[in-house]
Amino acid sequence: MTTDASATATEPNLAQRVLRGFVRWFDNAAVDTNDLRALDRVDWVRVVPFLALHLACLGVVWVGFSWFALWTALAMYCVRMFAITAFYHRYFSHKAFKTSRVLQFAFALLGAASVQRGPLWWAAHHRNHHRHSDTEHDLHSPVTRSLFWSHMGWFMSPRGFVTEHANVPDLMKYPELRWLDRYDLLVPAALAAVLFVLGKILAIYAPGLHTSGPQLLVWGFFISTIVLFHCTVTINSFAHRWGTRRFATRDNSRNNWFLAIITFGEGWHNNHHHFPGSARQGFRWWEYDVTYYVLRAMAAMGLVWDLKPLPLALRNARLQSPRS
């Protein structure tokens, strides 16, 4: 009886759980993984900001449309998509090229502005994905789990919230990246504020643009961010379900030409799983890879260097049988 009473006394009540969830909006170090039963369940309090991002897109009904707002949304999509594909993915996760510490942090900030968590969290989970791709240890495999879970459910669970620092020892040595990973929500909040203030200024000094603070906030931040998010995570879900397989990898990765368009080259996912270390994911000349083209331009300017190619020995290795 004493043991049961003690366990009940230490179990957090509803108010405590809500407070902990609120703290975790701003401080990722506060994630609790002690309750193993809840690790793979959606933590609804923790994901309120994510759900609010979707609902905020409905604000377009009130703020209306302007070409300036649309082009701002497109620019925010392109810049942040490149930060995710080139730096969060190919640089932080796979070390496919090198750059300076200043540019490393600059693109880490842009990646965090995408509302896709910090660079350490992103890289740690992605490295785990490659290590256990499409097995029960892969948190977002559509092969072993549902399509919804692979697309977005996994990162809304306590297990998905955790940054597995053991997977990124090379990145842990940078205090600025550790700070950014812990307080990543501050960056998109600052971006949203900047867009709102910019819209207010333009409404006064450039009325011909027909924009406003609320309009630029809804289009430039909320709509752009939600489209960016869902396009990015199609690689976790759709690119392991639909497409073609050139290489006989151990997982169900697929090359998908449409996903390659909306993710700047990430859709050549079977290529990527064949050799993850390459800075280029479109292995053939006709496989467009916008991320790689921009990296080549940055390399020409000396901003990045040592872009890793696909080794010649692997170009025709492990080709998928046409009958499989």
Which tokens belong to 289? 């890879």
pLDDT at 46 (0 to 100): 78
pTM exceeds 0.85, yes or no: yes
Highest mean pLDDT among 24-33, 58-67, 312-321 belongs to 58-67
Q: What is the DSSP letter of 307?
A: P
Q: For the packed helices 14-26 and 48-56, what is the interaxial angle rounded to 10 degrees?
A: 70
Question: Is the pLDDT at 68 greater than 60, yes or no?
Answer: yes
In the block, residue with structure tokens 């070390």: 95
Residue 60 pLDDT exceeds 80: yes
Q: How confident is the model at residue 63 (pLDDT cuts 50, 70, 90)?
A: very high
pLDDT digits (tens, 9 = 90+) for 258-292: 999 999 999 999 999 999 999 999 999 999 999 99
Distance between CA atoms of residues 205 and 217, nearest Å = 18
Residue 101 has pLDDT above 70, yes or no: yes
For all residues of the chain together, what is the average pLDDT? 90
- Could you identify the residue written with the tokens 């990015």? 232
| pLDDT tens per residue, range 195-251 | 999 999 999 999 999 999 999 999 999 999 999 999 999 999 999 999 999 999 999
Which SS3 state, helix, strand or coil, does residue 319 take?
strand
**pLDDT higher than 60, residue 35:** no
Least confident segment among 7-16, 136-145, 162-171, 243-252: 7-16
Cα 29 to Cα 318: distance, rounded to the nearest angstrom: 42
59 pLDDT above the threshold of 60: yes
DSSP strands (E only) in the chain: 98-99, 304-305
Cβ within 8 Å of residue 163, ≥6 positions away: 28, 118, 120, 121, 124, 181
* SS3 assignment, position 249: coil
pLDDT of 230? 97
Q: C-alpha distances in angstroms, 162 versus 28, 120, 148?
A: 8, 10, 20
- How far apart are the C-alpha atoms of 83 and 103, rounded to whole Å? 11
Token pair of 1, please?
């009886």
> Alpha-carbon distance 133 to 276, whole Å?
12
